[in-house]
């Protein structure tokens, strides 16, 4: 006959609390050690840790992760699970996550990565410069031989009033020397947008073995050469050159760099060396991606120089001086910055 008064057993809730307590007591020392180390890292960083302390951090982290896994598997106290999740996430950030601050990332990019990568593209830079220069000469010479070429190279909808029928005075006003000029005329906006598109396409089209990049640079140079011919024809060649110089030394430099990136991708596709083409393309993409971030910055600087300088700086000699200084600064930056860091590394 069954006992009508069986012995009382702990409730499931009391049993779970007891189990959680035993679990905590067995492992809480490691959790506290990890939490203390993280608090210290958050206050002072990891620089003050000894070698042994740094080596012990991953051990404590793995123990915390193991505890979390067990706690979730056997459905222990929810508060304990939440605590271990938070502790493990914090530990992961300090052990495996990036530790660079924004200023360190920017310093590394501008102080090493960008200029050093540019110097690795020397051959491609010269090729892009030659293509753009050849285009300028072609545009100029064809317009000299036959003025009707101008409308082919610079369509009316893109000329912004700079066409064959324009007077010298109207052309002068488009250079920021007229009373109706504004800081960002419609043509200025078009020019900035157009050159940004040229830079992006020169880079992206490099994936087709670099040939479209070559044609794009030549075509852009032809349009520029045709426009230079038009202003020279009206006796404004010097003024146009000055207007172009103030922002062009930065803007055209950026386009040349973008073209060099496209050529580099094309070269690596055609001549991958010992690597597979996919591996070569991946490596070239990482290298040129770094450079194109800087190209975007250069185009922004050029836009500011063109948009603001055209209204506030109208003296041609001052414009040339500013453009020359900008070119000298870019060249000095790309040729000199990061060399010591590279040698030390």
DSSP secondary structure, 175-196, as one string: IIISTT--TT-HHHHHHHHHHH
Q: What is the reported pLDDT for 126?
A: 95
Q: Between 257 and 37, name the one with better pLDDT.
A: 257
**Per-residue pLDDT tens over the stretch 16-31:** 566 677 777 778 888 8
| Residues 120 and 83 reside in one and the same domain | no
Distances (CA, A) of 11 to 17, 92, 286: 10, 37, 61
Alpha-carbon distance of 134 to 138, in angstroms, equals 6
- Rounded average pLDDT over 50-78: 77
User: Is residue 266's pLDDT more than 70?
Assistant: yes
Q: What is the reported pLDDT for 17?
A: 66
Domain that holds residue 174: 105-344
Is residue 258, in this structure, part of any structural domain at all? yes
Q: What is the reported pLDDT for 28?
A: 82
| Residue 99 · residue 46 · CB < 8 Å | yes
Q: What is the reported pLDDT for 140?
A: 94
Above pLDDT 90, what percent of the chain?
22
Q: What is the reported pLDDT for 101?
A: 63
Which of 42, 76, 96 is the C-terminal boundary of a domain? 96
User: Is residue 345's pLDDT more than 70?
Assistant: no
Q: What is the reported pLDDT for 3?
A: 45
Q: What is the reported pLDDT for 31?
A: 85
| Residues 260 and 208 reside in one and the same domain | yes
Best mean pLDDT range from 3-12, 95-104, 258-267, 276-285 = 258-267
**Per-residue pLDDT tens over the stretch 181-221:** 444 455 555 556 666 777 777 777 777 777 888 998 999 89
Which of 71, 96, 121 is the C-terminal boundary of a domain? 96
| Residue 308 · residue 183 · CB < 8 Å | yes
User: Is residue 163's pLDDT more than 70?
Assistant: yes
| Residues 63 and 163 reside in one and the same domain | no
User: Is residue 311's pLDDT more than 80?
Assistant: no
Alpha-carbon distance of 297 to 199, in angstroms, equals 12
| Residues 202 and 65 reside in one and the same domain | no
Burial of 73 (0-12, 13-18, 19+ CB in 10 A): exposed
Which residues neighbour 335 within 8 Å (Cβ) at sequence distance 6 or greater?
Answer: 115, 119
| Residues 47 and 159 reside in one and the same domain | no
Is residue 4, in this structure, part of any structural domain at all? no
Give the residue among 156, 226, 178, 316 at the shortest CA–CA distance from 170: 178
Please, which pLDDT band fits residue 159 given cuts at 50, 70 and 90? low
Q: What is the reported pLDDT for 193?
A: 66
Which of 96, 122, 144 is the C-terminal boundary of a domain? 96
Alpha-carbon distance of 323 to 302, in angstroms, equals 10
**Per-residue pLDDT tens over the stretch 82-116:** 888 888 887 777 776 665 566 777 888 888 889 99
| Residues 154 and 35 reside in one and the same domain | no
Mean pLDDT taken over the chain: 79
CA dihedral 333, 335, 337, 338 (to 10 degrees): 150
Phi first, then psi, for residue 248 (nearest 5°) are: -70, -30
Is residue 164, in this structure, part of any structural domain at all? yes
Is residue 241, in this structure, part of any structural domain at all? yes
Distances (CA, A) of 260 to 130, 157, 283: 11, 29, 15
Alpha-carbon distance of 134 to 131, in angstroms, equals 5
| Residues 198 and 154 reside in one and the same domain | yes
Lowest pLDDT segment from 105-114, 251-260, 335-344: 335-344
Distances (CA, A) of 307 to 14, 300, 304: 75, 10, 5
Is residue 227, in this structure, part of any structural domain at all? yes
């Amino acid at each position: 006959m069954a006992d009508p008064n069986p012995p009382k057993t702990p409730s499931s809730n009391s049993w779970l609390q007891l189990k959680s307590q035993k679990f905590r007591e067995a492992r809480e020392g490691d959790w506290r050690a990890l939490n203390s180390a993280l608090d210290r890292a958050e206050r002072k960083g990891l620089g003050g840790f000894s070698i042994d302390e740094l080596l012990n951090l991953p051990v404590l982290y793995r123990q915390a992760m193991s505890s979390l896994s067990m706690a979730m598997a056997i459905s222990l106290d929810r508060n304990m699970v939440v605590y271990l999740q938070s502790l493990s996430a914090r530990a992961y950030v300090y052990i495996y996550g990036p530790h660079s601050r924004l200023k360190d990332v920017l310093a590394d990019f501008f102080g090493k990565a960008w200029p050093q990568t540019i110097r690795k593209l020397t051959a491609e830079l010269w090729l892009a410069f030659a293509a753009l220069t050849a285009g300028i000469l072609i545009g100029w010479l064809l317009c000299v031989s036959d003025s009707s070429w101008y409308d082919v190279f610079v369509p009316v909808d893109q000329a912004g009033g700079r066409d064959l029928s324009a007077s010298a005075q109207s052309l002068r006003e488009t250079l920021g020397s007229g009373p109706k000029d504004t800081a960002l005329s419609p043509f200025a906006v078009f020019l900035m947008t157009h050159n940004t598109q040229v830079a992006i396409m020169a880079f992206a089209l490099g994936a087709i073995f670099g040939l479209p990049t070559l044609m794009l640079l030549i075509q852009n140079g032809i349009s520029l050469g045709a426009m230079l011919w038009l202003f020279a024809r009206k006796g404004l060649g010097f003024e146009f050159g000055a207007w172009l110089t103030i922002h062009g030394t930065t803007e055209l430099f950026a386009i040349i760099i973008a073209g060099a990136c496209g050529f580099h991708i094309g070269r690596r596709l055609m001549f991958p060396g010992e690597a597979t083409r996919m591996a070569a393309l991946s490596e070239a993409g990482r290298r040129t991606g770094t450079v194109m971030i800087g190209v975007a910055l250069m185009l922004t600087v050029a836009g500011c120089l063109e948009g603001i300088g055209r209204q506030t700086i109208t003296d041609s000699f001052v414009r040339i001086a500013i453009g020359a200084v900008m070119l000298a600064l870019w060249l000095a930056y790309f040729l000199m910055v990061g060399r010591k860091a590279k040698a030390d590394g």
